[in-house]
Amino acid sequence: MSMFPQPPPGQGPIHPGAGAPSPYPPMMPPMPYPPVPPEPRSGGGWVRAIFVTLATTIFGLSLTLNIYLLIYTGLMRGGMGGSVTSVVRDGKVDQTIAVVPIRGIITQQTFEQFARWMNAIEEDSRIKGLILEVDTPGGEVAPSDQIHQRIVDLKKKRGIPVVVSMGGYATSGGYYVSAPADHIVAQPTTWTGSIGVRLDRLNISRLADKYGIEDNSLHATGSDFKTAGSIWKPETPEERAYLLGLVDDAYRIFTEVVQKGRGSKLTAPMNVIASGKVFTAMEASKLGLVDQVGYFDDAVDKAIALANLNQPRVIRYSRPPSLWESLGVESAEGIARNALHWDRSVLDELLRPRLMYHWNGS
């Protein structure tokens, strides 16, 4: 039996007496909990913004480049054969004059691009005339001859007039490709002519002797001219005569091209015209190498007249820019070309004899 009275049901405990001290120790008030600090704000908000901006930029560039590549691929695979055109003078589409450039050193790549343009022109019956914008010091013999032949073939196949508009240079191979034209216009400052052939080569046999370098290359018995022109051994008179014969044959072809292309327009004997000299526009005009001293617009007017057109349209062909060029940077090919990367192929290219319809001022 408890020593303290029990409270009725529903009531709290009855203390032993009024004011009597409680037999239990006083209860301590609950300790207040410190306030819960708010979650710290992430310091990565600006990082996230930068990431989103970069991702958006990269996506935009990727999209732009893919669109460009689609367009570029379409141009390269389209009917224009890897070319684009711009309108120089508007008019009737079925009275079109095409303008095609031949610029820089003439190489195999020059011919391949030119051939693509010729294919497009040959297949387009709306084109009634051709203007060649020639601004080149010439170049390799074979590509110059190939370009010349494509012009001759176009005239036979289509029967359209061909006019040349000469720029700063139309020398050597530049004149070779101009010769079959029906009319040649040279601007007053044009240099042309240089009708001749070069065989560029080096001989370092004396240097090899000085440093004890021997050439032990072999050739089959009886094929003594196989090593003619070698840079490692002295040249014999027989080898020189043999190599000069190759140069003279290319020169003969050049003079025949000039005679056939210009015919009775020439006013001086071939030994004067084809002396290798470069002529000014006025000198070339007096010799019959050009028909007119003027500018591009004069060439356009002459092509229109020869084609007998009354509402002509003039378009200019050009190659599509590369991806690098479109972005305003040097092409990967150009970077590689300018890099000092000397491998065997570069050395071979520098040392091999090259037959050239080319004038370089020396």
Residues labelled as active-site residues = 172, 226
**What 3 state SS string does 138-170 have?**
EEEHHHHHHHHHHHHHHHHHHCCCEEEEEEEEE
313-318/191-193 β-pairing: unpaired
84-89/313-318 β-pairing: antiparallel
How many CB atoms are closer than 10 A to CB 233?
Answer: 18
> What is the rounded distance in angstroms from the CA atom of residue 278 to the CA atom of residue 195?
8
DSSP-derived secondary structure letter, 225: G
**At 93, which helix (H) or strand (E)?**
none
Selection from 77, 146, 83 nearest residue 316 by Cα: 83
Selection from 83, 103, 41, 129 nearest residue 308 by Cα: 129
> What is the rounded distance in angstroms from the CA atom of residue 268 to the CA atom of residue 287?
6
Sign of CA dihedral 65, 66, 69, 75: negative
Question: Is 68:326 a contact under the CB 8 Å cutoff?
Answer: yes
96-103/198-200 β-pairing: unpaired
Residue 4: is it exposed, middle or buried by C-beta count within 10 angstroms (0-12/13-18/19+)?
exposed
Q: Where are the alpha helices (DSSP H) in the chain?
A: 45-77, 108-123, 141-158, 173-176, 205-210, 237-262, 270-273, 281-287, 296-307, 323-326, 332-338, 344-351
Question: Is 111:128 a contact under the CB 8 Å cutoff?
Answer: no
